[in-house]
Amino acid sequence: MRLINYFTAILVIAVIAGCSSGDTNLKRGIWRATLSRDGQQLPLLLEIFKNPKGDSYTVYTMNGGERLRLDTAYFERDSLHIPMQLFDAEIVASLEKDELKGRYSRTKEGNVTGSLPFHAKFGESYRFFPEGTAKSTKNVSGKWSTVFVNTSTGDSTVAVGNFSQEGNVVQGSFLTPTGDYRFLNGNVNGDSLFLSTFDGSNAMLFKAAIQTDGSLKGALWSGIKGYKMWVATLNPNAKLPDATKLTFLKPGYDQVDFSFPDANGKKVSLKDPQFKDKVVILQIMGSWCPNCMDETNFLAPWYKNNKERGIEIVGLSFEHSDKPDISFPKIKKMINRFNMDYPVLLAGTNTDEATAKALPMLNKVMSYPTTIFIDKKGKVREIHTGFSGPGTGKYYEEYVQEFNGLITKLVEEK
């Protein structure tokens, strides 16, 4: 019996050592990583810290001025796992000296739907070019009238690029009628522009050649298989369609009505007493949506500071699944992540059919997020499609100013 116990103990120790051995040499700090696709290298920067208990890691992805925390990382079977549960994504990579090699994968209900090779090296903090190696006399600062074209479908999207450049370092974003491409960061080198971003959901690589007339002509690789061509012309007057005119109430409607469950299964309706005689903001969103996270990052603290003015917010979450056991945990995770004090309801799936069924009074939900402003009498006063996040600079500041102005007007009405 003692001999059996001895060998059992040795086996347990071996298993534990096997599960944690890759952890011992993982260096803490900045790792430069790439995702490979179609002969292209999408660069991203990760910052990794060991947590106090020693059995897990905190990981940030860095995009210009943004440090976005990913889910808690851990070692299992000599591989580092960096989950991004809200985005149904994960990085799994083995450690070899100062390098991580593995894959970035997207999943659906636990099944891998696509993946890209992932490689990271410790101690390198540049995005595209080592410091001092990128040189150019070109400058792309300013506003750009832009058109993205899906080459497989022929569909096009208008956008406004807004960029600032210092030396050869460029940062900014593209705004579209349904949202922005968040924090983009990169370089100008020679006659070419290079930009990228990675937030767990969006993995985007932009490349463009600066033409002799100053215009841009390039390509966008997004996610596992997305691809678009794009052209842009410098235009200080570039602008998008009015975001308050894209989604609207159908004729005969002046209110929104619904009854959906929150993440605990409790049904919530605008007819509930807590909303009576109050200004209500409806946030059409999804836990999988990075632009929705940007809006939530604004709305959650704003609500804490303003709810006593007679204001309520309700999140209507359209998820990848309408199954409560799949989507409720994701909604709860987002609530906890952003410390949201307002209810978030499972309204259905993020399909045209589901949104039309859930909100039949709207012409169409074009974008996540979409924000609906309701006055004290329950009447819809404005519907704003998309959200210009902090990566858009002055456009974000303008939105916040307009948002506060509209809320003040609705609160002061009798």
Higher-scoring residue by pLDDT: 21, 97 = 97
Say what the pLDDT of residue 50 is.
93
Which has the closest alpha carbon to 127: 185, 82, 173? 185
CB contact at 8 A, 346 and 327: yes
Give residue 1's pLDDT band: very low, low, confident or very high (50, 70, 90).
very low
Which segments of 50-95 does DSSP mark as H helices, in order?
none
- Could you give the CA distance from residue 45 to residue 373 in angstroms, rounded to a whole number? 38
- What b-and-e string marks burial along 125-160, b requiring 16 or more CB atoms within 10 Å of the CB? eebbbeeeebebeebbeebbbbebeeeeeeeeeebb
- 144 in Cβ contact with 132 (< 8 Å): no
Percent of the chain with pLDDT over 90: 88
Q: Which helix (H) or strand (E) holds 94?
A: strand 89-96
Interatomic CA distance for residues 414 and 407, integer angstroms: 13
Q: Is the pLDDT of residue 13 over 50?
A: no
Q: How far is CA 311 from CA 239, 286, 326, 376, 399, in A?
A: 31, 22, 30, 9, 19
Average pLDDT over residues 93-105: 95
Give the confidence band of 279 by pLDDT, cuts at 50, 70, 90: very high
Element (H, E) at 221: strand 216-222
User: What average pLDDT is seen over the chain?
Assistant: 92
State the helix-helix crossing angle for 324-338 and 290-306, rounded to 10 degrees.
60
Instruction: Tell me which residue of 258, 367, 245, 354 sits closest to 314, measured CA to CA.
Output: 258
Q: CATH number of the domain at 2-122, please?
A: 2.40.128.120
| Region 64-91 average pLDDT | 92
Task: Identify the pLDDT of residue 23.
Answer: 55
CATH architecture of 259-412: 3-Layer(aba) Sandwich (3.40)
Tens digits of residue pLDDT in 322-340: 999 999 999 999 999 999 9
Backbone angles phi, psi at 72, to 5 degrees: -60, 130
pLDDT score recorded for residue 64: 82
What is the dotted CATH code of the domain comprising 142-234? 2.40.128.120
pLDDT at residue number 54: 82
Question: Contacts by 220-224 with C-beta closer than 8 Å and gap 24+?
Answer: 220/148, 221/37, 221/38, 221/40, 221/42, 223/106, 223/114, 224/37, 224/106, 224/113, 224/114, 224/115, 224/116
> What pLDDT digit, counting tens, does each position of 17-75 carry?
444 444 567 999 999 999 999 999 999 999 999 999 888 999 999 998 899 999 999 99
Q: Do domains 2-122 and 142-234 have the same CATH topology?
A: yes
Q: Which helix (H) or strand (E) element contains residue 45? A: strand 40-50
Q: Which residue has the tokens 């020693």?
A: 54
Q: Is the pLDDT of residue 5 over 70?
A: no
Enter the pTM of the model. Answer: 0.88
pLDDT over 50 (residue 9) = no
What mean pLDDT do residues 265-288 have?
96
In the chain, where the domains are located: 2-122, 142-234, 259-412
Residue 117 has a pLDDT of 98
pLDDT band at 110 (very low <50, low <70, confident <90, very high): confident
Q: What is the pLDDT of residue 8?
A: 43
pLDDT at site 177: 93
